[in-house]
Structure 1
């Protein structure tokens, strides 16, 4: 079948999508695609400061049934960048057909119960445009979004680690008990040990994946930076040189990789507009605890502390809890040495956001932030799933959030904020 060509109405809808608030983009994208490809739910995992900001709209059973680790596995299974796949996911007690579109910047679009229409090219092209727009929007926005991303990432990882430690201790205790010689039923004990051992291995595997699903190899992050800059610098007179990072460097958390690319992209674009700059060198390295970035130009070396370029860089570096040293030598150029820690700072829940929530609503949102779904929250708090849904609806309304992920991001902020 020939490729479906977007008509005027589709293009106007795509333009309109670019003007809505970020939280409305999933709904607008779903509306835009629906006439061409029927679907019951839409989930996006964008390549932004959090290395994987999730937003969703549509069938609640599907949305709640897709975990962060499911999305990670889908991204890992992609045959290549810029690909469309049709497959199925286990949701509840059955399989649900899905369509996955992988944008060139690593962002993922997931559609539930897609129709049979052959519009894969249209979906992929549209998603590429939207994903790149979201990346650009994050780059140009207030650096505050980086602070929220770092804080949320730290709290999420802390919660996962604590959960893993709690269950690991429980399983290890059960294992030790079942191995006790005071138990007579050898067969039952052997079988229980096998089950407990398998559960422990599964838990540790899930924890390892949870630690890595928002990480990006430093070489991959640097290669993406080069890809981002190549079409922009191709027709400029400035020679941009890239010094490759070591291949064995520690993987970068998603928000660090994205934030670092945003800083360098903005810096390079500003430098290439200066008539006296003919060469820029970009170098990345990693010492195990920090990402080390060095940007050097051959300009006049007259960047003052009040320059727009340095303000841009400093704001975003501070948002990532990093620091920058600038060495400007008149007539010899400017060198920027930037250090960004790989581990997020400690964070706290914003008290102003919590003030309007009831004690029960606080319990619910904290469990949501720890990765719990409605059923598990209900079991943990001893209430019904319908009551959990009621609390979630009130939380979203009080915080002015359109989704659970947005509510969680609103709650968290840098401890210095």
Structure 2
């Protein structure tokens, strides 16, 4: 094997590892939030709360041991099946949390989703719901999926303060995932009435080249931002360090995700550490 081939294989392995770590972090966060929701529930006795927490943790451990990236990337999931898995993921928060999560079932005739798209879609929704739980302003969120044959269409509508903006830090991890999947995201908010997040993910994203993670086509500013992302600092610190606006940093990060073929900030940081 040539040095170039070995380098590409190494970069691919590092990228896969970073993706796995990021995905597991999302799922662990959901599990912990669900366990806390059960333990804090005023509707359960102490014994019942402990039993529910044990059941949630046990189910998460079983899933962690049996799930593999290969299954996610190679299998197709019916859109209804993928949505049912999302409902199962969020069931503990629905049962024991303060947030009322409502689900609008997708049409049964929708096109099957590639495994990586289905997995990413669930991760995006989980991240959004956890952000709403942390914010505490919303009491109700409606989750709706649909498929137009070429794209998975997702909508989340809450009844919070109506102050959410596409540039908010709470939206940043969601936007980064969507951009990495070559999708689109929009946020519409009405003060006092809530916010609506619309996301479209292509089911057939354009293929990424083997050299997508090189930095030959980066601008000088993008190299500076990538270097700082690799150190683990946040967007606000990057903006202050480079003397640019926060929105400009977010713009550069989105471009870096696209150019490196990265799906999460962790993947991007791993790519930056190798350059």
TM-score normalised over the length of structure 2: 0.53
Larger Rg: 1
Q: Which residue of 1 aligns with 2:240?
A: none
Q: More strand by proportion, 1 or 2?
A: 1
Which residue matches 1:336? 197
Distance in 2 (CA, whole Å) between partners of 1:321 and 1:214 is 20
Kindly state the Cα deviation for residue 272 of structure 1 after the two structures are TM-superposed.
2.2
Post-superposition offset of 1:304 = 3.0
More displaced stretch, 285-294 vs 340-349: 340-349
In structure 2, the residue matched to 1:317 is 178
- The equivalent of 1:264 in structure 2 is 125
3-state DSSP of counterpart to 2:96: coil
Q: 1:303 aligns with which of 144, 152, 164?
A: 164
Deviation at 1:240, TM superposition (A): 0.3
Q: Contact conserved, 2:79 with 2:113, CA < 8 A, in 1?
A: yes
Three-state SS of the structure 1 residue aligned to 2:187 is strand
The aligned runs of 1:205-284 (5 Å cut-off) are: 214-284=75-145
Matched-pair contact (CA < 8 Å) for 2:124–2:174 = yes
Aligned partners of 1:126, 1:237: CA distance in 2, in Å? 23
The structure with more helix, counted as a fraction of residues? 2
- Tell whether the 8 Å contact from 1:241 to 1:280 is kept in structure 2 after alignment: yes
State the distance in 1 between where 2:15 and 2:137 align. 38
> In structure 1, what is the Cα distance between the partners aligned to 2:171 and 2:90?
20
The corresponding residue for 1:291 is: 152
Q: Deviation of residue 130 (structure 1)?
A: 6.3
Deviations 1:273-294 (A, max 9, x none): 3332110000000000000000
Equivalence for 2:46: none
Q: 1:129 aligns with which of 52, 61, 65?
A: 61
Structure 2 partner of 1:206 = none
Give the gaps of 5 or more residues in structure 1: 1-20, 25-45, 50-124, 139-148, 154-212, 354-413
* Partner SS state of residue 308, structure 1: coil
**For 1:319 and 1:415, how far apart are their aligned partners in 2?**
5
Q: Deviations over 1:309-359 (max 9, x none)?
A: 210210111111101011011111000010000002122112778xxxxxx
Count of aligned pairs between the two proteins? 167
Structure 2 residue 188 is matched with structure 1 residue 327: yes
Assess, with a 3 A threshold, how the Cα gap between structure 1 residues 342 and 235 changes in structure 2: closer, same or farther.
same
Q: Please say if 1:416 is aligned against 2:259.
A: yes
Aligned to 1:362: none
Correspondence for 2:208 among 337, 347, 356 = 347
Task: Note the aligned Cα RMSD (angstroms).
Answer: 3.5
* 1:70 aligned partner: none
Quote the residue 2:235 is aligned against. none
In 1: Cα distance, 2:16 partner to 2:176 partner: 24
Whether contact under 8 Å (2:165, 2:188) holds in the other structure is no
Structure with bigger RCO (C-alpha 8 Å, 6+ apart): 2
1:226 is paired with a residue whose SS is helix
- With normalisation by structure 1, the TM-score equals 0.36
Partners of 1:344 and 1:242 in 2: CA distance: 27
Query: Could you list the per-position Cα deviations for residues 236-272 of structure 1 after superposition, in whole angstroms to 9, with x for gaps in the alignment?
Result: 1111000000001000000100000000011011112
CA distance in 1, matches of 2:63, 2:169: 27
Pair 345,235 (structure 1): closer, same or farther in 2 beyond 3 Å: same
Unaligned runs of 5+ in 2: 1-13, 24-56, 215-256, 261-275
Is this contact kept in 1: 2:212–2:259, CA < 8 A? no
Q: CA deviation at 1:216?
A: 0.5
Task: Give the Cα separation in 1 of the matches to 2:176 and 2:66.
Answer: 20
**CA distance in structure 1 between the partners assigned to 2:162 and 2:171 by the alignment:** 12
